[in-house]
A and B are shown apart, each in its own frame.
Chain A
């Protein structure tokens, strides 16, 4: 890196006479404006404006192909009396809570396993990330096939190999097994991200702390509780915030495996919003469901962010 920088510096031709364009670009405000323009432009048009538009749509009776009229909070009142909506709210919370707990417990365990000196460590670390890299929909289709009622490989193992059961599992045909099946698939997909992130955190913990604890006669459990967990907290809170946020707003996995069925029992708020808005063409009602997600998202973010541990550097400041 050093050689490259010196090389780059030496190759400068001292040039006092910049063209007017060069001088314009030396004007800092102009340069800032120019540099921020594409980002701010794209984000305002395709992110901020749609957020506002979503709020407006949720208070209209817009359908596909027809401009709606303002109807106030009517969409929300009708959702309030809609058992399917409340079922989706309940399952979204349940799904987020259980899947996040599973991901973090197993992810932390995997991170601690990977933190040992292992043969082929880099290779193991690389392949362990695969579930996270591969498009969610495509791995979800694989899970769908694994959960097949007639040809499920899990059922085959339980019935024909281990002889623990007489009949095949009905993974996706009845509400509760379907709910748990989706959670398992989500945990499977989420473990790598948590594990690799926490592994990075574990590697920053100085080994001398563990040596000191060992000399003082600390047990493995004490070392874990008094050294590992507190020092992991900062990175844990960031990973937790992101994970909760993206699990809560999950769409792909449920849409690919069950599409909300059986009997609407596995609808997340996102899949229900899609269902009502695009195939059902009730854009206003779909937007209202999406807007209803916002308070939950804000509450979850604040809870994880401030509840678990707050550090200055999470907001882009210095690490101290």
Chain B
């Protein structure tokens, strides 16, 4: 390990990690930290933790950076790596975004996607709350088996369903209508939300409901006044999950929607903006970026709910 100490200074002074590390070291010395019991030197930590972590973060975020930087580059910069270094933008322009917003139907696609995702989310969360409540709280005979069946439904991938669903949608006369997506998205949203909410209902003490029963509340009153208010964080995370999943859905939207103005953002970008042999990378990247922003915003507001319920859902 002494040989590593030599490389330490060169490695750390680059990213200003040193200051953070010192700070952390101070904080750590006051904590009863099991890791600190080992021979955990600063050099070792830099090599084994900070550098790999920095590489991970850079690799995971680079495509987004590349997306962002491409969307504000003028064309003459984008295709001329000799004169302009591609990693930076010299004269940023909003032309790509302007073109996207005013010369294509992008705003309309955004609204359509928003509408479909919202409707599918409300439908799925509503159905899931009732189902999760019945499975977890009404404790009817066979509830465990019904729960298992709903869980199994989550394991059926949309890619084996879309062909028969397309014929079904056609028979119902819903082809090329947003209703087709609003009604089919719950097939993968409901199992997920139900699963998540069952876990959440488990954490609410059953005694609260028993008290209410003794006080003379009806089952509906219990659900409305006790269980639901307590399950609000669970409902929020189920809602976020459902919204992001329906925003990201692709194959149903690709197969069931035909007319340009009714397409959702992911499908429209791929089928409407990719035309001919010359790709308009600037507008494509701007479209991808703008299409990612709504989910990223929602996610950033509720990231704690998201992470805890994601891990919670897996643990349950």
Contacts and interface: CB of A to CB of B under 8 A. Distances in A.
Interface stretch (A82-90, A136-144, A173-181): A136-144
A109 B51 CA distance: 13
Contacts of B63: 131, 139, 142-143, 146, 188
Contact of B212 (A9, A127, A246): A9
A12 B266 contact: no
A207 interface: yes
A224 interface: no
A261 B79 CA distance: 25
A39 B159 contact: no
Contacts of B28: 117
B244 A54 contact: no
A53 B164 contact: yes
Interface residues on A, range: 35 or more
Contacts, number: 323
Contacts of B212: 9, 12
Interface in A38-97: 38-40, 42-43, 46-47, 49-51, 53-54, 57, 62
Contacts of B299: 129, 133
Contact of A130 (B208, B269, B285, B296): B296
A50 B165 contact: yes
Given A125-B307, A142-B66, A39 B150 contact: yes
Given A47-B156, A49-B168, A249-B159, A239 B314 contact: yes
B183 interface: yes
A221 interface: no
Contact of B23 (A106, A119, A191, A293): A119
B163 A235 contact: no
A39 B255 contact: no
A210 B34 contact: yes
Contact of B226 (A1, A5, A16, A131): A5
Contacts of B60: 127-128, 130-131, 188, 191-192
Contacts of B208: 5, 9
Q: Enumerate the 9 nearest inter-chain pairs by beta-carbon distance, A residue then B residue, closest first.
A: A200-B311, A249-B157, A35-B134, A38-B127, A270-B159, A53-B164, A39-B131, A138-B288, A35-B130
Interface in B49-82: 49, 52-53, 56-57, 59-61, 63-64, 66-67, 70, 78-79, 81
Interface string A124-162: 111111110111111101110110101101001000100
Given A46-B184, A130-B64, A54 B35 contact: no
A36 interface: yes
Interface in B276-316: 281, 284-285, 287-289, 291-292, 295-296, 299-300, 303-304, 306-307, 310-311, 314-316
Given A8-B229, A130-B61, A252-B251, A135 B155 contact: no
B251 A1 contact: no
9 contacts: A18-B218, A50-B161, A53-B164, A129-B299, A129-B303, A145-B67, A197-B310, A270-B251, A293-B159
Contacts of B284: 141, 145
A133 B297 CA distance: 11
Nearest to B67: A142
Interface stretch (B5-13, B90-98, B102-110, B139-147): B139-147
Contact of A274 (B123, B198, B251, B311): B251
Query: Chain B interface secondary structure, helix, strand, loop or mixed?
Result: helix
B250 interface: yes
Interface in B225-242: 225-226, 229-230
Contacts of A260: none
Given A54-B164, A188-B59, A256 B130 contact: no
A286 B165 CA distance: 12
Contacts of A256: 270
A139 B292 CA distance: 9
Interface in B129-179: 130-131, 133-134, 138, 140, 144, 146-148, 150-151, 153, 155-168
B121 interface: no
B295 A134 contact: yes
A306 to B, nearest CB: 14
Contacts of A28: 138, 140, 219
B311 to A, nearest CB: 3
Contacts of A170: none
A46 B295 contact: no
Contacts of A182: none
A129 B187 contact: no
Interface residues of B, number: 114
B148 A316 contact: yes
A277 to B, nearest CB: 5
Contacts of B164: 50-51, 53-54, 57, 287
Contact of B300 (A124, A126, A200): A126
Contacts of B148: 315-316
A228 to B, nearest CB: 13
B130 A38 contact: yes
Given A5-B208, A156-B81, A313 B61 contact: no
Most buried by B among A47, A134, A239: A134
A31 B255 contact: no
A290 to B, nearest CB: 4
A273 interface: yes
B64 A38 contact: no
B194 to A, nearest CB: 7
Contacts of B86: 151, 153, 156
B30 interface: no
B265 interface: yes
Contacts of A293: 159-160
Contacts of B304: 122
